[in-house]
Structure 1
């Protein structure tokens, strides 16, 4: 239903009753005046007919045609007379004027039962009135005294007079009268509308101003003020609105001040948290760098030591040393992973991942670890392909399984189960371990938080596993959820989107990896090792020489540039931090030389985000200390294969 404004409604209320009243009065007075005119015309017509009938009595009686015609002509000169006809008692035409063709149609005279002097209006329409008046001879009785008394004698019918009175002038007058009345009605209505509009605007304009002011206040312009009004009620309403706006403005300013203060406080705390997080990252980077230097040398020395031992007992002791180095390296790797994720340089490589194959690999990796604690492992896989980064997804599951086995008591159970859930695959890691209280379920994803390791037992890690899982899940957009009950165990769930038809995509990387291992010999490879730490420099050279490489060493950037100028190399292994520069500067010097540049490996014990980002921008392969000999050998083979393919 269409809604009208207050102005139109007020005009309608003011004008419609007046319009109805005016129409009724106009109709009534017009009808009355038309009736008066009709009666006046009829009265004048009767007067003309009677006068003519009386004046025609003698000429008809005496048979004086000339006098009769003269009387007819005189009557014909009256206004609105259209025709006159005089007939005798036998209905024969005696005299007339105007159009007398209608005389023969007066047949009803012959049917009159008695002919007297009554006036008859025998026909009337919108154009004329036809009247008939009998012509009678008055009988006068003379008594003995000579006085006449006509009342006792019957009148003698001599004939009749027919007169046609036209209505043209009357109709014209009615039309003019109607037009004048309508014009007056229009003037009255116009004046009424103007007066109503003027009166309504005295109310409407202030109301509209108030409406606009309230709308502005609703839009937030609380300094809006509404002017006063001469109407007492509207002035009171305007004052109330102004007071409301003033109070709202005061409250908003107070609230805004509180918000600004809270925002400043939050910004200050955020900056403090960012500084603290930055300081933490710098501390972790510096601490890990200082630890990685000796760990890196120790790992290389242990790798070289394996090739020089003769007895089984010696190899067993070396294996124990290597296990300790591996455990410490894993702790440092966790610190490195956190630094990489905080630096934002980890870019997921989304592709199809065979869930069944990944679950089988995980089962093989953890069966020995679970047997040490007599924990039963269950794996329930499905034949499905998901869209994810295979390396990062496997790292998530490795951390969850390792965490579940670590916090499940002996003779417990750990399960990794996969099931379809709509367009995704839900991967769950369940255990019947100690469980996590509800109030701590968010805290377990923070760094260095361990709920059941107050003694800081290193066999239970350092509290970074779940923090890495949480960051990786957010990076991959894989929703992570936790359900846990203290004393009953925990369930970690990950939803990974499904994908189809990617078998050919999975086959290509496997073929490339297989091809890279065809060239597994490093004899006579010319390698330049650059490191300012003497222990690291000679331990790296020792392991490379045990692989058959020809090794040259340098302790700083200047010496390395001189070595490279004097000889050509197939591979350069350089520490990032050097006394007179960094490893990226050496790579720039090498790239400026003509010819094919050697393969380049950058090694660093510093996990600062800036170093990770710089290496990523330059496209150089960065390895963090301590470097495992097997990993170093694999990367060397990969880079040399890539270099040989480009020649």
Structure 2
């Protein structure tokens, strides 16, 4: 035992204790480091996975982008092809429309010749069977004329050739002319036709408006077996009018409201005189309404009837004007015996048919296909004509207006004159008016021609 009673310290044991303490500390540090390394490796593994995923997504996006680019280029090529085809189709349709709009004279010329020939035939002494055939031919010509006129009008509207002449129109006068036309038809079918009185005026084209209402009233009577039809006018707000054409017919199912405005859509009803509806009435109505900027609506109940409503702008009344000042005149009269008529017509069939008709009316006729031929004929006649009847379109680009002027200058006085044309445009009408000549549209109705000639020679 050492001094003071303390045991001596074992250096080796102290060294071991110190080493154990250091080892414990190192193990603790190592544990912390290992934990950090493991967490770092886990983080790097996640980052690597994310990197691989990003690379995969980028590759998919690039593939989808390439695929979409190829699809878009294909669509562009398809759209270009479709646009080319659409442009070609539209141009073909415009060409067809322009052709029909300009071909009215040539298309109606044969009908005009046939109608004049039939009229001349009806004035001859024929048997009852012959007269029956004449009536059948006349009905067929009426159908052909109606079809051609409607097709030409539709083409002119589509081509923008037929432009409305908007003016203040007394609705009562338009309705009065319709009443005189359709009341006999309604009476023959045992139907009532009621035209409600009105003092309203509207801003419209009187010829187009009459054509619209004419088709609507015609359909109302055609598809009505019992009851009748009513045409009435009422105010719609301070600035508009509504014209209703109401019938008590079979009605139109809802699923056919759009179809009835399609070309050649027929209701299937035959008229008493055997005439079949052409199926163009409502199609031309729709075009006319669009050209005028009016609105047309339809309500119908199957088994109870139909109402067509036309909305148009109101107008303030102006100085009273007879409707014939706004529309083509239809005159009555007879008595042409001995009249000397100059006929200028380049179509041989029409010239021969017109000559035969005029001679049946006891007229003397000097006819020729050109201006010079007719002038020569009258120089041989030794006197001026009493009246000039000239087709507008002559050979070599000359016109009936020129023929009238030449004959008037040659004989030194304002010879009464009639210009016959299939051109409904304002230009021909203005030229005729400037030359103090009357205008008749083809196909010429013989009764109207005779009435007009009689009026002009009085």
Query: What TM bracket, shorter-length normalisation?
Result: 0.5 to 0.7
How many residues matched?
382
Match status 1:368 vs 2:207: no
Partner residue in 2 for 1:411: 226
Closer/same/farther in 2, CA of residues 469 and 319 from structure 1, 3 Å limit: same
Shift in Å, 1:399: 0.5
Shift in Å, 1:448: 2.6
Alignment partners' CA distance in 1, 2:83 and 2:255? 24
Partner residue in 2 for 1:482: 298
Whether contact under 8 Å (1:352, 1:505) holds in the other structure is no
* Cα deviation 1:207-239 (Å, max 9, x = unaligned): xxxxxxxxxxxxxxxxxxxxxxxxxxxxxxxxx
State how 1:198-347 maps to structure 2 within 5 Å.
Answer: 262=79, 265-266=82-83, 268-279=85-96, 282=99, 289=106, 292-293=109-110, 295-309=111-125, 322-347=138-163
Alignment partners' CA distance in 1, 2:263 and 2:364? 44
> Highest Rg: 1 or 2?
1
Alignment partners' CA distance in 2, 1:530 and 1:340? 27
Closer/same/farther in 2, CA of residues 602 and 405 from structure 1, 3 Å limit: same
218, 224, 242: which one aligns with 1:402: 218
Shift in Å, 1:401: 1.0
Alignment partners' CA distance in 2, 1:453 and 1:371? 18
Match status 1:463 vs 2:279: yes
Alignment partners' CA distance in 1, 2:145 and 2:323? 32
421, 424, 447: which one aligns with 1:630: 447
Alignment partners' CA distance in 2, 1:339 and 1:447? 12
SS in 1 for 2:245: strand
Shift in Å, 1:603: 3.9
Whether contact under 8 Å (1:288, 1:332) holds in the other structure is no
Partner residue in 2 for 1:495: 311
- Superposition TM-score, scaled by structure 1 size: 0.48
Shift in Å, 1:508: 9.3
Q: CA RMSD in A?
A: 4.8
545, 549, 555: which one aligns with 2:363: 549
Larger RCO (CA under 8 A, 6+ residues apart): 2
SS in 2 for 1:498: strand
* Cα deviation 1:284-308 (Å, max 9, x = unaligned): 9769845641x32332234334544
Whether contact under 8 Å (2:100, 2:152) holds in the other structure is no
- Superposition TM-score, scaled by structure 2 size: 0.65
* Cα deviation 1:29-62 (Å, max 9, x = unaligned): xxxxxxxxxxxxxxxxxxxxxxxxxxxxxxxxxx
Alignment partners' CA distance in 2, 1:517 and 1:460? 29
SS in 2 for 1:551: strand
Structure 2: any 5+ residue segments left out of the alignment? 1-67
* Cα deviation 1:465-499 (Å, max 9, x = unaligned): 11221222222222112234555543211012222
State how 1:156-167 maps to structure 2 within 5 Å.
Answer: none
Partner residue in 2 for 1:421: 236
Closer/same/farther in 2, CA of residues 471 and 372 from structure 1, 3 Å limit: same
